[in-house]
Amino acid sequence: TSADLRSILDFTVKLARKAGDIILEGSAAIQSASSESGVGEKKNSVDLVTEFDVKVEELVKKELKSQYPTFQFIGEESYAAGSRPPLTDTPTFCVDPIDGTTNFIHGFPFVCISLGLIYRRQPILGVIYNPFLDHLYTGISGQGSYLTSKDSEPVRLPLSKPAKPLSSLSQALIAVEWGSDRSQTTINAKSSSFSRLAGDPAQGVADAKMAHSLRSVGSAALNFALVAQGGLDLYWEIGCWPWDVCAGIVIAQEAGAVVCGSYASFSSTSKENKFGVVTEEILTGRKYIVVRAIGDAQTEK
């Protein structure tokens, strides 16, 4: 019920703030260490993990389990460690303990915990908390999304509506991400999409839209939050995982954003539950997310 969701939101917000304290302590510890102690690599040298990703996930998982013993849990680090429960209709928390791990290691203050709740295979609640800026984004399906900044009261998103819809990408501020798959095929496809988005057609860049500019904040969840807020017009990426997008989808959609690509699932005209299907396929290793780049038929894995 909506009262249940409000109470889950209150609990998860407190938990996200607690996680935020550990993230800040961890960042201070990493910044003061002379080497990159505690920084590990996953699939390659740019796919990073720290002891703090694991520590935050353990805390969050333990507290969620004790408060909601019947709920399932999907988390980035548990998944990496081999805990891969299938997605079912049971309420399931979907958590990225530190989204923006590279930023966290470098002290670039766009880092957050992303905590989503999936019910009947759809994301229905999201909490994204950036402890560096003390920005808390929350959303519940059908109840709007909000930004609480420092000690101020929650403000409904988007913060300001554009006077009129953008008539073309050329007026847009667009977030893109480099991701951690830097294989030649992927990086070529991404770079070519970046040039089509930002290049100058008058200077010979074929099919270019010459957007106002591109941004890369290094956190998928914060990109969703920034679109919800109104600071970004669009976020485009190939290769997100469920924990990168679960909370963000709710927050962005509640602010009026449209999510499309493999994760699109909320269109009222579509009965397809794509979030559930894509998440399950990713979790069981059958498929990675496929996103079509502008003018490309490029897929990743």
**Which residues contact ligand IPD (rule: CB under 6 A)?**
76, 96, 99-101, 177, 179, 218-220, 237, 239-241, 244
Catalytic one of 53, 76, 233, 237? 76
Nearer to ligand IPD (CB atom), residue 99 or residue 233:
99
For residue 244, indicate whether it is catalytic: yes
Question: Among 239, 110, 243, which residue's Cα sits nearest to residue 187?
Answer: 239
Q: Which residue do the tokens 């389990």 mark?
A: 65
Nearer residue to ligand IPD within complex by CB, 101 or 262: 101
Residues in CB range of 246: below 8 A, 6 or more apart: 94, 114, 116, 117, 118, 123, 126
The answer to whether residue 76 is catalytic is yes
User: Quick one: 88 or 183, whose CB is closer to ligand IPD?
Assistant: 183
Q: Which is nearer to ligand IPD, 210 or 218 (CB)?
A: 218
- Smallest separation (angstroms) from ligand IPD to the CB of 244: 5
CB 272 within 8 A of CB 122: no
Least distance in angstroms from the C-beta of 147 to ligand IPD? 19
Q: Which of 53, 77, 96, 233 is catalytic?
A: 96
For the bound state, the minimum distance from the C-beta of residue 143 to ligand IPD, rounded and expressed in Å, comes to: 26
Give the nearest distance from C-beta 108 to ligand IPD in angstroms.
Answer: 11
Nearer to ligand IPD, 104 or 266 (CB): 104
Catalytic residue among 50, 244, 279, 289: 244
Q: Is 98 among the residues known to form the active site? A: yes
Strand partners, 127: 115, 138
Q: Report, in Å, the least distance between residue 217 CB and ligand IPD.
A: 7
Catalytic residue, from 50, 101, 138, 299: name it: 101
Nearer to ligand IPD (CB atom), residue 109 or residue 179:
179
User: Of these residues, 98, 140, 249, 282, which one is catalytic?
Assistant: 98
Least distance in Å: CB of 167 to ligand IPD?
29
- Positions annotated as catalytic residues are 76, 96, 98-99, 101, 244
